[in-house]
């Protein structure tokens, strides 16, 4: 089985704009988008996030160019990725990625299938009363049917919007990182991320050792600029979705 790229993330709590500036994000071009997540309607009525609990994320990104609908499995059992979903591919308007996702001491595999849409094409799917599942196309349905057949996407409701501000390819010391700030429901986060790609001749241990060095370097670079890393155990996606679901309870 091929080695996977590793995306390394650090999360920062508090004033997202200040952290973005401290890490050099103000000096580069930024993209602003609105993000919605689709969740099980009945679960949201009970203040629960059933899809996320099953490791399924349905995300709408609107603005900043093409709209995007992404279906992601995280954590993902790589052994369940079968057929055409065994390996990554690009087939416009689809992009399919498999990568490791590292944050603090959490390490997991994530598989995501993104469908690009013309600007504004997904706005109807995130409106109040809409069934957000209607915008999920045949290939994304196939991805879920093959890889997580027990999960059904019926009667989804969109939670959001999250305001996202992203600065890509920011120089942080000798690292190149992406910075993304989220603001929603009184919560603010900043995520700094960088990727480590397998090299020819790498084995599992060599790739992991290089990623561990990169992770330490990223954490140190953030701290050196006076920014405090989050010590909360839950991911920003879980915290946001949980807060939005509770806010929607009748």
Domain extent at residue 167: 6-248
Residue 172 lies in a domain: yes
Distances (CA, A) of 222 to 25, 30, 54, 85, 147: 12, 19, 32, 35, 37
CATH of the domain at 78: 2.40.320.10
Tokens, residue 64: 């900043």
Render pLDDT for 59-112 as a digit per residue (tens, 0 to 9): 999 998 899 999 999 999 999 999 999 999 999 999 999 999 999 999 999 999
Please report how many Cα atoms fall inside a 13 Å half-sphere around the Cα of residue 96, on the Cβ side.
Answer: 15
Residue 120 lies in a domain: yes
Question: Taking the model in full, what pTM does it have?
Answer: 0.94
| Other Cβ atoms closer than 10 A to 200 | 4
Q: pLDDT band at residue 113, thresholds of 50, 70 and 90?
A: very high
Nearest-5° Cα angle at 97, 235 to 102: 35
Per-residue DSSP letter, 3: P
**Above 80 in pLDDT, residue 158?**
yes
Distances (CA, A) of 178 to 11, 14, 139, 166, 168: 12, 18, 29, 7, 4
> How many separate domains does the chain show?
1
Tokens, residue 107: 């390490």
**Above 80 in pLDDT, residue 160?**
yes
Q: pLDDT band at residue 128, thresholds of 50, 70 and 90?
A: very high
- The residues facing 165 across adjacent strands are 32, 181
Residue 1 lies in a domain: no
pLDDT at 247: 86
Tokens, residue 232: 């909360």
Residue 182 lies in a domain: yes
Residue 215 lies in a domain: yes
pLDDT at 100: 98
**Above 80 in pLDDT, residue 1?**
no
Are 10 and 192 in contact by the 8 Å Cβ rule? The answer is yes
| Other Cβ atoms closer than 10 A to 224 | 10
Residue 49 lies in a domain: yes
């Amino acid at each position: 089985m091929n080695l996977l790229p590793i995306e390394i993330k650090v999360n920062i709590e508090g004033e997202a704009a200040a952290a973005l500036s401290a890490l050099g994000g103000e000096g580069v071009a930024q993209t602003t988008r609105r993000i919605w997540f689709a969740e099980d309607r009945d679960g949201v009525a009970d203040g629960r996030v059933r899809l996320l609990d099953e490791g399924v994320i349905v995300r709408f990104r609107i603005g900043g160019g093409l709209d995007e609908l992404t279906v992601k499995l995280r954590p993902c059992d790589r052994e369940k990725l079968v057929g055409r979903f065994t390996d990554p591919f690009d087939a416009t308007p689809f992009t399919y990625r498999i990568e490791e996702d590292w944050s603090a001491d959490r390490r997991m595999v994530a598989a995501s299938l993104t469908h690009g849409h013309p600007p504004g094409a997904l706005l109807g799917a995130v409106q109040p009363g809409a069934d957000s599942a209607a915008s999920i196309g045949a290939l994304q349905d196939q991805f879920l049917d093959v890889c997580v057949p027990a999960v059904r996407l019926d009667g989804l409701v969109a939670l959001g919007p999250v305001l996202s501000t992203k600065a890509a390819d920011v120089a942080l010391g000798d690292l190149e990182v992406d910075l993304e700030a989220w603001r929603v429901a009184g919560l603010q986060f900043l995520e700094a991320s960088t990727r480590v790609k397998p090299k020819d001749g790498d084995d599992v241990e060599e790739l992991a050792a290089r990623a561990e060095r990169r992770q330490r370097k990223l954490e140190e670079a953030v701290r050196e600029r006076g920014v405090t890393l989050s010590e909360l155990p839950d991911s920003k996606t879980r915290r946001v979705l949980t807060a939005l679901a509770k806010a929607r309870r009748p």
